[in-house]
Structure 1
C-alpha cells in the first residue's frame, strides 16, 4: 500500500475522517485510477455521513477492479443504506460469486431481499448465513421476522426462541412469539409472552396491544362457551375484527359493515386490529355469543380465537396471491373476497375453491345529498378557479406504484393542451405534505414529461392536493369534479371509484380486476388492459407483488378516451343507477350474514 494510502487508513481507523478523506483525495490527484484509494475514500465519506458522495468512488473502484472484495462490500452497505435495493443486491451477488461462503454477504443479501419482497430467497440466504458462522441474536431475530412474513410460523417460532436463548432480556423477540401464538389461537402462551416483554420493556407498545387482544379474544371465547343471554336474544351474533379506526380501504369497509349490522340489530363484538382501539359510537368490550370471528384484514394480520371459526375478509389486486398469503390463508375456515377477480387470485394461488365466497362491498349514496359537504374552492397553478373548467377529472390514490400515477400523468400530458377546457385534480397520499413524497412526485413528473415528450406547461393544468382532509371535505372534493379516472394496475374494489359513480360522476376505468364486477361499456369509459409482470418504472418487482402479475392499462387507448371526452365526441355514461341498486352496504351486510348462515357460523 502506498504511503499516502497507509496514512489515510491510519486516520480512518483512528476516526479522523476529515483527514482520511483529504489524504485519499490527495493520493487520487496523482494516481486517479487507484482502487484502494477510491474504496477508502468511499468508506470514509460514508462514515462521515455523506452517503451520496460515497457511492461514485466505490463504484469507480469496482469498475477498475471488479473483484475488489472490500469495495464490493462497502458499495453494498452504502447502497443498502440509501435503499437502492437492486444495485445493492447486484454488488452482494458479485461478492458471493467471489466468496460463496461469506456469511456477512448472505446476511446483507437476505435483508435486502426481504425489502424487495423475495421472501423465499431472503429465508434461504439468512438460513445459509446461520449455517456458515456462529449466529448472533440479531441474526436469529432477522430470520424469524422474515419467516413470520413468509407464513412459516413453526420456523419463525424456533428462530425467536433461539433469539431469546442468546439474549433473554430482549423484549421484542418475546413480543414476536406472542404475535405468532395469536395467529395460531394459543391465547395463554401469547399472553405470557406479551407480559414477559412488558416486564423487560414497559414502553413496548406492541406488547400492550397484544395483551389487549388476548383479553378481547378470551372474553369472546368465554361468551361462546357460556352465553349469558337467552338464546333468542343472542342468536346470530359473531365477532368482527378490523382496522376500523384507520383511514384505509379496509378501515372504511369494516366501519361501514359494522354500522350497517348495528342498524340491523345484529349482535356483534367489534375488536380493533391493535386491541385497545377506540370506537366513537359505543363501547367495544361487549362480548356476544358467537361461532365465528370475521377478520376484515389481509391474511398476515388474521388471528384465531379458540373455539370460534376463523373467517378472513380480504382482497388482492393481482392475478395470483403470493405464496405467503396462501400459507397464512390456510388458517382460515373461510375466505371472503369482494369480487370474482380476487376469488380467481386465491384459486390461482392454490387455496381450495370450496372455502372461498364472494361478498361485494358497498357504495356511500348518502354522501350525494350531504348538505354539510360543499365543493371546496380550488385554484389551479395558473390562478384560475377549478370550477370554471367544464371537464374536471379527479383521482384519489395512495402514493404507491400500484396506483400507476406515472402513467396517469403521462397520459394527461399526451391527451391535453393548455387550451382545453379541462383540469386534473390529483389527491395523493393520506395528507400531511410529506417532503419525501413531494420529492418523489417531482421525480415522477420529470419522468412523465420525458415519456410524453411534453412539459407540464404544454398540457391542461394539474391541481395537486397532498394535505389531510376530513371525510366531509373528501365528499366535497368529489362534488368539485365531473369525472373520476383511474389507471391503476389492479384493484380489490376501489372505494373512491364506487363513491364517485354513486355521486353521479362519469367514470373512466381500466377493464380489469374489480372494475369489471360493477362497470362495463354501458356505464363507464373502459380502458383495455393486458396482464404483465408487476414491475416498477425503474425495473424490478413491486415488493408486495414479487414474482407476480398485474394489469397494464393501454395508455394509447386512455389518451384517446380523454381526448374524446374533452372534445365532446363521446356519449355520456353513468354508473349511478347500477351502483345504487346493486352495491349498497345493506346488501353487502346481508350477503355477509347469508354466507355465515350457510356455513353454520352464526348462533
Structure 2
C-alpha cells in the first residue's frame, strides 16, 4: 500500500497523526500532485490547530487555482476556523469553477445567515442547494435553519425531508418540535419530542423542550379554569439564568414582583431554571405570557395573550423581527426610541406600550470597595485624577473602535488620566481577538500609537456583582460612544452611582438623559458595518445605526482632562428618583391592568 492510500485509510479511521505522517511521505514522493497537497491539507485541518493545513491549502490553491477539491477544502477549513470573509471569497470562487456545487451554495447560504445577516439571501441559496442535492441530509437541515426566521411552514417541510432521509436524526426531530412550539402548537410538538427521546433519552434540548411544554400546558390549563376577565398573577418567560441584559432585566422584575407579593410564574427560556427561595414554576392564573427576549425566541402559550417585552438599538427593527413580532398581541419596550423602531417597521402603534426599566446602584453591594488596578507601568489607577470607564461587549455596535479613536486623539502620555476598558463578561477569546484587531487598526487609522496617549487598563476577567460595583467605584467618569442602545445598564448604573456621564444623544439615552445630567454627543445616522470595513454587521444587515460625532467627543474628554470642564453634571438624583425597579414593576402591572389582563394593576 503506497503512502497516499495509507494516509486516506488512517484519516477515515480517525488516526489523524498517522494520516499526517503518511501524507507528508506522499508529498515527498509526489511533490507536484495537487491531490497529495489536498490530502495533506485536509489531514492537517482535521487537528485542533488547523493553521498549518490552511497555509498549505492556500499555497496549493495559488498554484492550482482551478482545482475544485483544493478550493473546496480551503473554503471549508477557513469557515471552520472562523475566517468567514475569506471563506466567502473562496466559496464564490468555487461557484465559478462549478456553478452546480451544492457544497459551495449550501455553505454560502449558512454564511449569508450567520455572518452577513442576509436571511432572505440565505433562504434562496439554501433552496438552490436542496434542489441540486435533495437527498443530502445536512443540506436539508441547513435549509430548515435558513427558513426558520421567515417561514415556519417551510422550516418544517425541510425538517420532514431530513427525517425521511434519515429517520434516526434526533436533531431534526428536536428542531421540528421547536418550530411547532414557536407556532404555539404544543400537542403536535410532543410527537417529534417523543421520537427524539426514544432515540436518545438523554438528549438535552429534547428534555428542555419537553419541560417547557409541560410548563406551558399547566399555565394554559390554569388560565382556562379562571373566571372571565383579568388574571390573578403574572407569567414571565426569559433567559433568567444567563449573563445577558435580558436575563438581568428578568431577574430584577422577578425580585421586585416577589417583593410586591405579586403571584408570579417564571418559565426559563430553557425550561429548567431553579429558584433560591420558593418554586416559581407553578401556575398563578395569569392571562398573559410576557416574553422578555428577542422576537425570534417567542413561543406562544395557548389560551394566553402573547406579550413581547423587548428592545432594539437602531432606528428600525429588521424585516425578520417585524414579521415575528406580529405573532405577539402586544409589544412592550423600555424607551420611545424602541417604540419608533417597531412602529417604523410596520408593527401597529396602538399595540405598543412603553415601560422604562430601572437603574442599578447595587445597594446590595454598597460596601464593595474600589478594585485595586494598576496600569502597564505599575501605577495605581486610583492615583489618576481623571478615570474614565467603559463596560461593553466587544461587538461592533458598542463602537469600541470609536472610543479608542477618541482616546488617541484627545489624550497624551503625560495626562493625569486613564481609560478603564471592561469588555463584556471577560475571558472570551473571540472578544480578545476582536479587540486586538481593533487596536491595531485604530493606530493605523489615526496614525498614532497608543504609547503616545494616556494609558488604557484592560479588565479582562469575569467579575462578581460586588466586584463590578468596585470597578465602577474605581472610576469617576463613564464614557459611551455606542452606535445604539436599548437601555444601557452599565451607563445607567454609573449615573446612579454619581459618576459623570458622557453619552451620545440617541436611542435610549434620550429617554433618561439630557444636557442637565450628562455631556451629550451629537450624532448622525449611517449604515451599520464592521469596524474599518464596508461589510455589514450580521445583526444589523441592511439597517442603520447612529454615528456619534467623534470630534465633539474628543473635545469633551480633552476639556475634562485639561480642567476646562469643571462642572460635570450629576445624574444620580434624577435616575434614582425616576427610574427605579419598583416604578418599572408598577408601570408593567398598570399596562397589564389597562389591557384587562391583570386584576391588580398597582400604581405608577
Q: TM-score, with normalisation over the residues of structure 2?
A: 0.90
- Assess if the C-alpha contact under 8 Å between 1:21 and 1:45 holds in 2: no
Call closer, same or farther: CA 1:129–1:371 in 2, change over 3 Å: closer
Stretch deviating more after TM superposition (522-531 or 478-487): 522-531
Which residue number corresponds to residue 475 of structure 1?
A: 469
Which residue number corresponds to residue 3 of structure 1?
A: none
Could you tell me how far apart the structure 1 residues matched to 2:118 and 2:367 are? 47
How many Å apart are 1:378 and its aligned residue?
Answer: 2.1
Could you tell me how far apart the structure 1 residues matched to 2:429 and 2:306 are? 41
- Assess if the C-alpha contact under 8 Å between 1:510 and 1:528 holds in 2: yes
Call closer, same or farther: CA 1:549–1:8 in 2, change over 3 Å: farther
Which residue number corresponds to residue 599 of structure 1?
A: 595
How many Å apart are 1:131 and its aligned residue?
Answer: 0.9
How many Å apart are 1:529 and its aligned residue?
Answer: 2.3
Which residue number corresponds to residue 340 of structure 2?
A: 344
Which residue number corresponds to residue 443 of structure 1?
A: 437
Call closer, same or farther: CA 1:281–1:466 in 2, change over 3 Å: farther
- Assess if the C-alpha contact under 8 Å between 1:413 and 1:454 holds in 2: yes
Which residue number corresponds to residue 153 of structure 1?
A: 152
Aligned-partner SS, 1:484: strand
Identify the match of residue 398 of structure 1 among 393, 415, 427. 393
Structure 2 residue 554 is the aligned partner of structure 1 residue 574: no
Could you tell me how far apart the structure 2 residues matched to 1:342 and 1:159 are? 34
Call closer, same or farther: CA 1:65–1:491 in 2, change over 3 Å: same
Could you tell me how far apart the structure 2 residues matched to 1:268 and 1:197 are? 32
How many Å apart are 1:128 and its aligned residue?
Answer: 0.7
Which residue number corresponds to residue 367 of structure 2?
A: 372
How many Å apart are 1:308 and its aligned residue?
Answer: 0.5
Aligned-partner SS, 1:580: helix
Could you tell me how far apart the structure 1 residues matched to 2:132 and 2:315 are? 38
Instruction: Say what the alpha-carbon RMSD is for the aligned residues.
Output: 2.6
- Assess if the C-alpha contact under 8 Å between 1:17 and 1:47 holds in 2: no
Which residue number corresponds to residue 13 of structure 2?
A: none
How many Å apart are 1:484 and its aligned residue?
Answer: 0.7
Could you tell me how far apart the structure 2 residues matched to 1:261 and 1:50 are? 50
Structure 2 residue 258 is the aligned partner of structure 1 residue 285: no
- Assess if the C-alpha contact under 8 Å between 1:11 and 1:17 holds in 2: no
How many equivalent residue pairs? 587
- Assess if the C-alpha contact under 8 Å between 1:151 and 1:300 holds in 2: no
Could you tell me how far apart the structure 1 residues matched to 2:515 and 2:111 are? 44
Aligned-partner SS, 1:408: helix
Call closer, same or farther: CA 1:554–1:63 in 2, change over 3 Å: farther
Could you tell me how far apart the structure 1 residues matched to 2:48 and 2:279 are? 50
How many Å apart are 1:124 and its aligned residue?
Answer: 1.2
Call closer, same or farther: CA 1:478–1:188 in 2, change over 3 Å: same
* Deviation sequence 1:407-458 (CA, Å, 0-9, x none): 2223222222222111112112323x34454344333322233233333332
How many Å apart are 1:139 and its aligned residue?
Answer: 1.9
Aligned-partner SS, 2:112: helix
Stretch deviating more after TM superposition (41-50 or 439-448): 41-50
How many Å apart are 1:338 and its aligned residue?
Answer: 0.9
* Deviation sequence 1:64-100 (CA, Å, 0-9, x none): 6654433332332222122221222222223323432
* Deviation sequence 1:341-384 (CA, Å, 0-9, x none): 2122222322222222211111124x368543222222222222
Q: TM-score, with normalisation over the residues of structure 1?
A: 0.90
Could you tell me how far apart the structure 2 residues matched to 1:364 and 1:13 are? 60
* Deviation sequence 1:462-517 (CA, Å, 0-9, x none): 22112222212212221221011111121111011111111111001112211111
Could you tell me how far apart the structure 1 residues matched to 2:366 and 2:311 are? 33
Aligned-partner SS, 1:174: helix
Structure 2 residue 120 is the aligned partner of structure 1 residue 120: yes
Could you tell me how far apart the structure 2 residues matched to 1:131 and 1:203 are? 34
Call closer, same or farther: CA 1:82–1:235 in 2, change over 3 Å: closer
Structure 2 residue 551 is the aligned partner of structure 1 residue 556: yes
Which residue number corresponds to residue 362 of structure 1?
A: 358
Which residue number corresponds to residue 517 of structure 1?
A: 511
Could you tell me how far apart the structure 2 residues matched to 1:290 and 1:508 are? 42
Call closer, same or farther: CA 1:24–1:350 in 2, change over 3 Å: farther
Aligned-partner SS, 1:426: strand
* Deviation sequence 1:7-29 (CA, Å, 0-9, x none): 9866765665445446657876x
* Deviation sequence 1:571-590 (CA, Å, 0-9, x none): 32122222122212122112
Could you tell me how far apart the structure 2 residues matched to 1:76 and 1:312 are? 40
Which residue number corresponds to residue 310 of structure 2?
A: 314
Which residue number corresponds to residue 4 of structure 1?
A: none
- Assess if the C-alpha contact under 8 Å between 1:363 and 1:580 holds in 2: yes
- Assess if the C-alpha contact under 8 Å between 2:232 and 2:284 holds in 1: no
- Assess if the C-alpha contact under 8 Å between 1:36 and 1:61 holds in 2: no
Could you tell me how far apart the structure 2 residues matched to 1:585 and 1:53 are? 54
Aligned-partner SS, 2:286: coil
Could you tell me how far apart the structure 1 residues matched to 2:356 and 2:242 are? 21
Stretch deviating more after TM superposition (50-59 or 18-27): 18-27
* Correspondences of 1:177-196 after superposition (within 5 Å): 177-196=176-195
Structure 2 residue 488 is the aligned partner of structure 1 residue 502: no
Could you tell me how far apart the structure 2 residues matched to 1:36 and 1:266 are? 69
Structure 2 residue 249 is the aligned partner of structure 1 residue 253: yes
* Correspondences of 1:16-95 after superposition (within 5 Å): 17-18=20-21, 20-21=23-24, 24=27, 42-43=41-42, 45-46=44-45, 51-56=50-55, 58-60=57-59, 62-63=61-62, 66-95=65-94
* Deviation sequence 1:288-329 (CA, Å, 0-9, x none): 112100011111111111110000000111222222212211
How many Å apart are 1:39 and its aligned residue?
Answer: 5.8
